[in-house]
Amino acid sequence: MTFRQAAGEIRAELIALRRRLHQDPEIGLDLPRTQATLLAALSGLPLEVTTGQALSSITAVLRGGKPGPAVLLRADMDALPVVERTGLDYAATNGAMHACGHDLHMAILVGAVRLLSAVREELAGDVIFMFQPGEEGPGGAEPMIAEGVLTAAGEPAVAAYCLHVFSATYPTGRFGTRRGAVGAACDTVRVVVRGTGGHGSQPFRARDPIPAGCEMVTALQTFVTRAFDVFDPVVISVGSFHAGTADNVIPEEAQFAATVRSFSAAARERLRSGIRDLLNGIAAAHGLAVEIDYELGYPVTVNDAAEAEFAAQTIIEMFGPDRFSWVENPEPGSEDMAYVLERVPGAYLDLGACAAGLDPAAAAVNHAPDAVFHDSVIPDGAAVLAELAVRRLARG
């Protein structure tokens, strides 16, 4: 029996698990109810299970019946602070929502655990299952790495794989990936422009931070288009700008914050240094002081080219060429699977899960309060992860 056939036999159980998880979402690193639900789903399987010390993670190791390396399979566990308005009969009602499909990811990985457990004696090595909280922030991959997830089987894992579902863009059941960068680095810059307050009728007696702050925002957009290669793009979006209390009062300070996205380590470093130089220069030209807090977030998520090719070929052999497509451009979103892929060659894979009857080009996207995911894709996702593990272990 193939993994695809075996996954079909546990389809109803996996979908039921996903819906239980969907009804009770939790946010961040501390997910006790989610952890308990997953531990119950894994109970009775031939696993070495440990839970996190700094977070509600689960690491499970399946020992193969034959000697060999270790492969890691990962799913994220956390939800978003979004009030759900899907109208589903299993919708969450606690003010949080699995609006990014992590409930499907968990069910898919539990499915892979069950499929691989059934063939444990035939495995030429071990499989590490990484159930990770905090992907939406503040980041759970780094704490799990610090607690030893990559070496949970003994020797470091030789390959790592994960799937991410999408409520829009892709047709339901379509897999995709790309070689190289698949997701952006995401950093945050917070800026305080300090001047001298005064009366709005006499601006020459003050040092007005508002025009300088506005100039900085505009200059950042020009900086993007004039200092960076169009084929190695960056994105700077100012999402917050605050200054002043009244129309006739020049405030002492203006504040703004921006998200900064990049798709290569080189562009990321040029952003960090270049933004500081740009803002300091504008502040100096206006006779103002500026404080710049540049916070590094998740790095670029990078697929190993050989592992991406291997994953693509595996999917095509399992489902046919119509169920796979190479993705032309990386996602501007960020992902802390990046920390795993910095240390272990692997592949981050996309899976279309647009709800029945919806047009993927017009459906609500991930993170939207009305995003709906088609849980019929769960068995195929589980089969792919299991097949990748078996084939990669067989290669040694």
* Structure tokens belonging to residue 32: 């006790």
Q: What is the spatial distance between Cα 273 and Cα 217, in angstroms, rounded to a whole number?
A: 16
Which pLDDT score is estimated for 396? 85
* Structure tokens belonging to residue 8: 């079909």
Using DSSP, state whether 239 is helix, strand or coil. Answer: strand
Mean pLDDT of 127-131: 98
For the stretch 41-80, pLDDT in tens is 999 999 999 999 999 999 999 999 999 999 999 999 999 9
Amino acid (one-letter) located at 19? R
Which pLDDT score is estimated for 332? 92
| Catalytic-role residue among 76, 78, 307, 335 | 78
Percentage, residues of the chain above pLDDT 70: 100
Judge whether 84 counts as a catalytic residue.
Answer: no
For the stretch 309-356, pLDDT in tens is 999 999 999 999 999 999 999 999 999 999 999 999 999 999 999 999
Which pLDDT score is estimated for 381? 98
Q: Is the dihedral of CA 365, 367, 372, 377 positive or negative?
A: positive
Q: What is the spatial distance between Cα 112 and Cα 120, in angstroms, rounded to a whole number?
A: 12
For the stretch 131-146, pLDDT in tens is 999 999 999 999 999 9
Judge whether 304 counts as a catalytic residue.
Answer: no
Torsion angle, alpha carbons of 307, 308, 310, 313, to 10: 180
How many other CB atoms sit within 10 Å of the CB of residue 107?
28
| Catalytic-role residue among 135, 253, 304, 331 | 135
Reported confidence tier of residue 102, pLDDT bands at 50, 70, 90 = very high
* Structure tokens belonging to residue 57: 């993670």
Q: What is the spatial distance between Cα 111 and Cα 326, in angstroms, rounded to a whole number?
A: 25
Which pLDDT score is estimated for 100? 98
CATH code, 185-295? 3.30.70.360
Which pLDDT score is estimated for 266? 95
pLDDT at 369 over 90: yes
Q: Are 291 and 331 in contact (CB under 8 A)?
A: no
Using DSSP, state whether 49 is helix, strand or coil. Answer: strand
Which pLDDT score is estimated for 148? 98
Percentage, residues of the chain above pLDDT 90: 99
Chain center to CA of 175: 17
Which pLDDT score is estimated for 140? 98
Q: Across all residues in the chain, what is the average pLDDT?
A: 97
For the stretch 18-49, pLDDT in tens is 999 999 999 999 999 999 999 999 999 999 99
Element (H, E) at 227: helix 209-227
Answer whether CATH 3.40.630.10 is correct for domain 3-182+301-395.
Answer: yes
Q: Are 375 and 19 in contact (CB under 8 A)?
A: yes
The residue extents of the domains of the chain are 3-182+301-395, 185-295
Q: Which residues contact 13 (CB under 8 A, 6 or more apart)?
A: none
Strands 58-63 and 124-132: antiparallel
